[in-house]
């Protein structure tokens, strides 16, 4: 069951929180996770749509309502902190907590409206997500909603699944009429989201029916085939190259902080340190001097961002060997909170061992 304010506006839960002596809130709950297939900045955009619709001109909203974003991930803090930062300035009070920790009054962006008695419970309705859909199927559907079309290996990489598990889920989604094959090549099938599947994925993110959510898509949708494939395989590339690394979630073609736009991003842990693994795929369609300047600019932006959240940074560049030859000289005297690695974009799963403060290349 989900709680609804209006027919199209649904939340994962509701609670009248006691936020002071004899003061009660009217708080709607949105449960989110890095495993839901959306980067945190895009998730925040989806939540903003809910917030903006809480109160409208027709008077059918809940002017007393506040939002509690409960981040379900139990490892690391970056995902929750980025959502909280991205929600700054929204029109209704919002609190972001981790692992179902109930918010206190000071956790809200500003003081929510309260009353002297608990607020009336809003109506409930049946969750639009079918009860028999599996977690693997839903995750593949959400990832494919971002990609719009993709190969099995790419979807498996971004869902943190094995290829057989992802393939089984994708066939099940096809039987449900939510996705379909673009090709009949059984060895390398291309899967495409269907309108019915897109609608279900959007409802699973609680995006209201009829609302536009263009942020769901990869940012650079016009990259060439190899560039796009390498970016999408980044989580699987890391898992194969560094088995000791914890991979919590990964996305291709994201935007962070308004200025950092990596080709792919993985959130995880390396050497017991919460880390962002930023990937840049470089084709080499520039001069050597411009390649150096671009690489330096990308690294500086990534380092500025990760330091804002007190994270460590693994910065990786994958491309043709001549590009790596041109760019490696751009990096000297690295700080000890960053490790830089360079690798051949044709050698899937091969990366040099990272070392903080150093540049490594196979």
Measured CA to CA, the distance from residue 9 to residue 267 in angstroms comes to: 30
Q: Is the pLDDT of residue 184 over 70?
A: no
Q: Is the pLDDT of residue 143 over 70?
A: yes
User: Tokens 């609670």 map to which residue?
Assistant: 15
User: What would you report as the CA-atom Rg of the chain, rounded to the nearest whole angstrom?
Assistant: 22
pLDDT for res 25: 93
Question: What is the model's pTM?
Answer: 0.93
Q: Is the pLDDT of residue 151 over 70?
A: yes
pLDDT for res 342: 96
pLDDT for res 74: 86
Closest by CA position to 265, among listed 38, 77, 87: 38
Q: Is residue 313 within 8 Å of residue 280, measured between CB atoms?
A: no
Alpha helices in 193-350, H assignment, sequence order = 195-204, 225-232, 234-241, 288-308, 321-327
């Amino acid at each position: 069951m989900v709680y609804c304010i209006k027919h199209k506006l649904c939340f994962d839960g509701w609670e009248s929180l006691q936020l002071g002596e004899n003061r009660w809130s009217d708080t709607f709950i949105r449960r989110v996770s890095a495993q839901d297939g959306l980067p945190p900045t895009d998730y925040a955009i989806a939540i903003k749509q809910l917030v903006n619709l809480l109160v409208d001109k027709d008077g059918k909203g809940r002017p007393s309502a506040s939002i509690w974003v409960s981040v379900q991930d139990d490892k690391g803090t970056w995902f929750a902190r980025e959502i909280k930062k991205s929600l700054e300035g929204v029109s209704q009070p919002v609190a972001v907590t981790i692992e179902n920790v109930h918010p206190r009054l000071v956790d809200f962006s500003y003081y929510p409206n309260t009353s002297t008695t608990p607020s009336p419970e809003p109506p409930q309705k049946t969750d639009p997500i079918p009860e028999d859909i599996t977690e693997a199927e839903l995750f593949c559907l959400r990832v494919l909603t971002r990609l719009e079309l993709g190969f099995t290996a790419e979807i498996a990489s971004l869902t943190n699944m094995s290829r057989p598990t992802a393939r089984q889920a994708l066939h099940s989604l096809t039987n449900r009429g939510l996705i379909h094959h673009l090709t009949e090549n059984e060895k390398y099938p291309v899967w495409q989201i269907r309108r019915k599947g897109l609608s279900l994925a959007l409802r699973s993110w609680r995006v209201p029916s009829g609302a536009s959510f263009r942020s769901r898509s990869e940012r650079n949708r016009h990259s060439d085939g190899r560039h796009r494939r390498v970016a999408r395989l980044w989580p699987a590339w890391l898992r194969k190259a560094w088995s000791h690394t914890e991979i919590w979630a990964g996305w291709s073609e994201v935007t962070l902080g308004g200025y950092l736009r990596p080709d792919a991003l993985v959130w995880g842990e390396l050497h017991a340190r919460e880390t962002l693994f930023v990937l840049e795929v470089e084709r080499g369609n520039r001069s050597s001097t411009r390649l150096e300047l671009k690489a330096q600019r990308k690294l500086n932006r990534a380092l500025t961002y990760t330091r804002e959240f007190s994270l460590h940074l693994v910065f990786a560049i994958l491309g043709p060997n001549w590009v790596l030859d041109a760019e490696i000289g751009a990096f000297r005297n690295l700080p000890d909170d960053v490790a830089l690695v360079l690798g051949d974009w044709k050698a899937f799963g091969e990366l040099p061992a990272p070392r903080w403060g150093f540049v490594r290349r196979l």
